[in-house]
Amino acid sequence: MSSDDELAERLRDGDEKALRTAYDRHGAAVLYLAQRLLGNRADAEDVTQLTFVAAWTGRDTFDPGRGTMLGWLLGIARRKAVDRLRSAARDDRLTETVRAQTAPADETESPERIVDRLVVADELGRLPDEQRRTLELAFYDDLTHPQIAAVTGLPLGTVKSHIRRGMANLRRRWEVDGAAFGSRSVGPSRAL
């Protein structure tokens, strides 16, 4: 699996296969975000198409030093989806309907939150196996450290360090790529 740096390099060189790789790797997340924001499959596919075409056209603007390829693509997709909602509002004078769509009652489903979930899910998938497994047990099964140790057969100290490192990795990624992070006040931070 080539890194974002390598993929960016190939993209910049005009290698269409690199865009295909990006599509295979991140197309599902882009489509998911678009579908959640727009509420229907046809518009979501249109926005996904626009996103990857824009990524191709603007491939020189991707800087692996500032974020990951997924974060960059989700940022483009979010803007395209918002443009789509706005122009729909202008065209159809359905402002009220659109407002209802863009400001979901459930705070956890804001566009920023969906982006956050997608980047954290992606990072979780990249963690070393044991870090990932222990975090899955903590997040999804709500198990405590001792319970995780019992389930996995790992010593408690090992579980602790996997979870601490795993959380630190997720946090770092979320701070780099997460949509909501930019709006948070930046405070002092200690490395975990």
Partner 1 sequence: MQHLDPDRLVLLALSEDQQHSDESEHLAGCAGCRYDLESLREVSEIGAQTQDLRDLPPPPEHLWRAIEAEIAPAAASPGGSAAVTDLAAHRGRAHRRRSRWLAPVLAAAAAAVLAVAGTVVFDRLAGRTGGEQVLARATLAPLETVPAAAGGDVRVLADGQMRVDVRGLPLTTGFHEVWLIDPDDLTKMVAIGNLSGQPDVVLPVPVGTDLNRYRLVDVSDEPHDGDATHSGRSLLRGTLTS
The distance between the two most distant Cα atoms of the chain, rounded to a whole number of Å, is 61
Contact between residue 47 and residue 38 where contact means Cβ atoms under 8 Å apart = yes
Does the footprint of partner 1 cover residue 175 (CB under 8 A)? yes
Encoded amino acid at 10, one letter:
R
Tally of CB atoms within 10 A around 175: 13
**DSSP label of 128:** -
Tally of CB atoms within 10 A around 33: 25
Interface characters, 147-166, with partner 1 (x: CB under 8 A):
-------------x--xx--
List 9, 46, 98, 154, residue binding partner 1 (CB under 8 A): 46
Does the footprint of partner 1 cover residue 80 (CB under 8 A)? yes
Smaller CB distance to partner 1: residue 30 or 69?
30
Does the footprint of partner 1 cover residue 104 (CB under 8 A)? no
Q: How far is 59 from 67, CA to CA, in rounded Å? A: 14
Tell me the backbone φ, ψ of residue 43, rounded to 5 degrees. Answer: -65, -35
Window 106 to 125, contacts with partner 1 (CB under 8 A): 108, 113, 116-118, 120-121, 124-125
List 8, 18, 138, 149, residue binding partner 1 (CB under 8 A): 138
Q: What is the dihedral of CA 160, 163, 165, 169, to 10 degrees?
A: -170
Encoded amino acid at 115, one letter:
V
Size of the site for partner 1 (CB under 8 A): 62
Smaller CB distance to partner 1: residue 103 or 186?
186
Smaller CB distance to partner 1: residue 78 or 117?
117
Residues in the chain: 192
Residues found near partner 1 in the complex (CB under 8 A): 13-14, 16, 19-20, 23-24, 27-32, 45-46, 48-50, 52-54, 56-60, 80, 83-84, 87-88, 90-91, 108, 113, 116-118, 120-121, 124-125, 135, 138-140, 144-145, 160, 163-164, 167, 170-171, 174-175, 178, 187-190, 192
